[in-house]
Structures are given as structure tokens and as C-alpha cells.
Amino acid sequence: MNHRPLIGINMDLRASVKSRTPHSLTPTGYYDCLVTAGALPIMIPPLMRESDLVPILEKLDGVVLTGGDDLDPRKMGLSPHPSVNAMCERREISDRILCKLVQQERIPTLGIGLGMQELNVVAGGGLFVHIPEDLPKSIPHYDPHGGAHRHTVVMQPKTRLAEIYGPGEIRVNSYHHMGIRKLAPNFRISALAPDGLIEAYEGREPGWWVVGVQWHPENEGNISLDMQLIEAFVEAAGARRNVPALAKVG
């Protein structure tokens, strides 16, 4: 019997307010698209100790780093900005540990939105805090009124994403005002927006399947182009399940 890959999904965190205690949550699109692609989703709560997260990751075949609010610019040595809606500190601490561990253990990883930004920062990259100001000639990457926004991205030749989506350009959803300023050394560009902003990256090492996308394939999981990426990720996670443990570590 073939075992379905177990994919961890890091959860968002909402702080307490007068009428609500703190709670963790995950948009349904993340686990629905994984189930559609043949995987079993496992929720990862925002735990703040490596010793609590390691035993969870040891049981997983892959990890999805989800979207959410913004990284705190001050933790990256940058100035605050009024556009920033910083995530809960507990989630940021937990996410940074997760990013360190998936990189360290070479766990197949798909970073989405905030998740791709976090992984890039932890791996040694940097971010634009507010694209409209940092790149005045940039195209719009979000709707300031909160509505749907789309733009094209161009796949880079001879990359994993070009294999998944095909060469040329596709239209993607776009909800971000932060973006990648400096790409981490162990990543390479997979897709660019028309203004030159990095919209996707992938790992340079053949032994680690890792892709980060600035758009949200889980939001439109019934669209075949979006599911192609999810399916490729699940396939990579399933392949890792069949690798002996010592080979994974090596």
C-alpha cells in the first residue's frame, strides 16, 4: 500500500482581544489543495522551542510555509513603516525556527507569500519593506482596498518552475507590499514580475526540493496551473518518504 505524504502546515496566530482568547488558524485552501494532490496535511502550531518542533518535523515528508501578516522590519535591522502589519511575535519566532530546520534537514518545502519571504530572510536574504516606495517604478503588487489583484510573471529558463508551469509567462494573484530585495545565496530566481521583482525562487542544491512563490496557489486550487505546483511539491515529498533515514541526513 502506498502511503500518502504527510505535509506540515504552519499555523497563523491571532492575539487576544476583549471578546476572544488567542487562537491559531489556517485558511482551508492550504489543506484542501494538499488533499486534492494526494497528501495528508498536519497542522503545526506556533511552538517556540526547537525541541518541540524537531519531533514533529521528523515525522513529516514536507512543509508548507504559509502566508500571513508582515515580518517585523526591526528584527531585520530595518526602520518601521506605517504600511507594515506585523505578525504576532510568537508566530514569527516559531516560523524562524521552522525555516532554520527545514533548511538544515533539507525537508521538501513550499514557501507561499509571507512563507517565501521568511525562508529567504532566514537563509541570508533581505526584503523591501514597502515596494511602492522602495521601487517607485514598480507595477502594483496589491490592491490597496483589499480586493483581488493579478499580474503576470515570467518563468526563468531551465528552472524547476519552468518545468512545472512551462516556459513564458502566467498570470498570478498578488497581495503583497513587501518583496525580496536580496536573494539568499542558496536560492536562484525562478520567476520575475514585469518590473524585475523576484516573484519566485528555488533551491540551487539538487538534493533539496524547495520553492518559494510570492503568489498564492492555494487560493485557487481548482485552476490547473496552480495545482501543478502543489502536485509537484507533493510528488517531491512522497519521493523523500522512500529515501532511507540515513540518506536524508546525509
* pLDDT tens sequence across 206-246: 899 999 999 999 986 545 668 999 999 999 999 987 665 43
Q: How large is the average pLDDT for residues 106-127?
A: 97
What is the pLDDT, as a whole number, of residue 8? 98
Dihedrals phi, psi of 66, to nearest 5 degrees:
-85, 170
From residue 152, alpha-carbon distances to 149, 158, 223 in Å are 11, 19, 16
Q: How large is the average pLDDT for residues 97-103?
A: 98
Q: State the Cα–Cα distance between residues 163 and 157, nearest whole angstrom.
A: 9
Within 10 Å of residue 150's Cβ, how many Cβ atoms?
Answer: 10
Q: How large is the average pLDDT for residues 48-58?
A: 97
What is the pLDDT, as a whole number, of residue 142? 83
Q: State the Cα–Cα distance between residues 105 and 205, nearest whole angstrom.
A: 13
> Domains, the chain, ranges and CATH?
6-10+25-239 (3.40.50.880)
Q: How large is the average pLDDT for residues 158-178?
A: 93
* pLDDT tens sequence across 147-162: 778 899 999 999 999 9
Q: How large is the average pLDDT for residues 167-177?
A: 92
| Higher per-residue pLDDT: 8 or 136 | 8
Least confident residue range of 20-34, 101-115, 230-244: 230-244
Pairing of strands 150-155, 126-128: unpaired
What is the pLDDT, as a whole number, of residue 143? 83
Residue 66 in contact with residue 22, Cβ under 8 Å?
Answer: no
Looking at the predicted structure, is the pLDDT value of residue 250 above 50? no
pTM of the model: 0.92
What is the pLDDT, as a whole number, of residue 224? 60
Q: State the Cα–Cα distance between residues 216 and 31, nearest whole angstrom.
A: 13
Place 249 in a pLDDT band, splitting at 50, 70 and 90: very low
What is the pLDDT, as a whole number, of residue 1? 41
Q: State the Cα–Cα distance between residues 46 and 174, nearest whole angstrom.
A: 25
